[in-house]
Copies of this chain bind each other. A is one copy, B any other.
């Protein structure tokens, strides 16, 4: 009775949206998010869902309208990429602080400049301090699953935060893969109705939302938000467990792939993990104790679980698909903090910026410790 289709990640997300049938979707087009919103728009135009799509005039307004809609009392979703996320960055922070449980699909794409439409994670990383939940999909199936799970995490009373489902631009958004869809009614039951405690449209119990906070209260209000993110880690696992009952697929905060007895491990996000898994299998066949730690949840960052998962390893290579010029790349820095004081050797690599490919031979080099800090860059010299 499972409904397996050949869908791009973008289409898969659009189908999850159709099944969730949110109240409001304010959205602005940008490559490679377009397959999501075009597929969804067509489904709506044909009456397969009845969401109110608000075709706003910029991404700043997309997120602003999403906040308005979500706090008014409507379940709200949106989607963007790259420059779109950068343009709405200001309001993403505010959405998190106003605790608006908006679900947003992010087709990861390199930030300008130069302008480029292909995948890297610089857009996600731009808002890593904003207080939103960020979950990375490895495949179109993952993108679907996480989108279905997302409202449950976002709307949990312990969380109440925006949840971003990140899918690699083109590699996931535009690649057709087998995707198993849940029945419509099961999704509807799984996500349940949207219930907000302080809906702005409830004029009988007025609230002042988005007040000014001076030094006497700002810190405390921010701390609340950090606590919500900490709670999101538990909630994510709970929702993942429940989702597993339904789907027999489990997507939690992280996936340890053949890590049990691994001595060398790679840590990676997103679609690259699939490529790494193939190489891990090959190396295992060659009797090399290689393993992969795939992070699904980058925010909240599951530090303790990561440290535990990597405990037996001797060395870890962390793959950043984003740079921080003049500083430490984001994932590398997080790993350094999470593993600080351990004996693990840690090597950081930046790869895949602006859609540069990472092929299995590159992955092998990384496992061998023979890769340059910038993997796949022309003109890069290996460290001595």
Contact = CB atoms under 8 A, between A and B. Distances in A.
A111 B93 contact: yes
Contacts of A274: none
A218 B328 contact: no
Interface stretch (A39-47, A238-246, A318-326): A318-326
A219 B90 contact: no
Contacts of A112: 90, 93-94, 97
A362 B311 CA distance: 35
Interface string A328-348: 101011101111110001101
A290 interface: no
A226 interface: yes
A346 B128 CA distance: 22
Interface string A363-384: 0000000000010111110000
A219 B119 CA distance: 11
A374 B219 contact: yes
Interface of A: 60, 83, 86-87, 89-90, 93-94, 96-98, 110-116, 118, 122, 125-126, 128-131, 133, 210-215, 217-223, 225-226, 228-230, 232-233, 298-301, 303, 322-328, 330, 332-334, 336-341, 345-346, 348, 352-357, 374, 376-380
A189 B364 CA distance: 55
Q: Chain A: interface secondary structure?
A: mixed
Contacts of A219: 352-354, 356, 374, 376-378
A300 B326 contact: yes
Contacts of A131: 325-326
21 contacts: A86-B90, A89-B89, A89-B126, A93-B111, A97-B113, A114-B217, A126-B126, A129-B324, A129-B327, A131-B325, A131-B326, A213-B354, A214-B354, A215-B356, A218-B354, A219-B356, A219-B374, A225-B325, A226-B325, A228-B325, A301-B327
